[in-house]
Amino acid sequence: MRYRFVDCRWSLDDPAAGRRAYLDGHIPGAAFLDVEQSLSSAPGPEGRHPLPTPEQFAGAAARAGIGAGSFVVAYGSLGGAERLWWLLRHFGHEDCAVLDLEAWHGPLRGGEETIEPATFTPAERTDDAIGRAELAARRAELVVVDARIPPRWRGEPNPLDRVPGRIPGAVNAPWNEELPPLPGGELVAYCGSGITACVTLHRLHLAGRDGRLYPGSWSEWEQGPDLPVERST
């Protein structure tokens, strides 16, 4: 088993910010995977950050040196590391963990790294994600968790959500706060576009409870003209 550090820092406002941060200083030997280019497909009807195809993810993982025998340690910002953690498990690679970069007491190194490519063979799971149609049909029987910050959950106007609001019945568990107690039952997590919800799912996993990701999240749901929207008054 060999360790493979992967830098997944990114910014919603500045697509180049993560790459700059990596070049300024990263854990020695770490590869860089861009959330928008490597850990997502192109935006469209399925939301701002649809899941990559198995072929897309396999190519990105291989370029980052991830293959059989790799234990991946991801670090990042705004859910980038947790997104890689979730995708690795989704595509059959269980040997992965998330590191808070602030907890790293070793040196940092700037510039590019020479990464030896690996072979990544995806084995996609079918039990860890949920699509819009199933969620719309079953939302009343699910524990639906919205990982966005409270003003967006309440439905206050903001620059990210074209249609402010939430999936009716969704409870709020902001990704950047401590995980609150959640009702028992089959759990589905979503956020704005399927990135920070992975933070919630990672925390739940560490606590011994797994849930499913709604990858399209609000950026897909809000496009459905017949889908219900709830707001706090």
* Six token digits for residue 11: 């910014």
56: number of Cβ within 10 Å: 16
- Of 104, 141, 87, 89, residue with least CA distance to 25: 104
Q: 8 an active-site residue?
A: no
DSSP state of 135: H
- Of 48, 47, 49, 74, residue with least CA distance to 61: 74
- Please tell me which residue in 8, 96, 191, 198 is annotated as part of the active site: 191
- Of 10, 17, 13, residue with least CA distance to 38: 10
Whole-angstrom distance, CA of residue 133 vs CA of residue 45 = 13
State which amino acid sits at residue 70: S
Whole-angstrom distance, CA of residue 103 vs CA of residue 149 = 24
Which positions are annotated as active-site residues?
Answer: 191
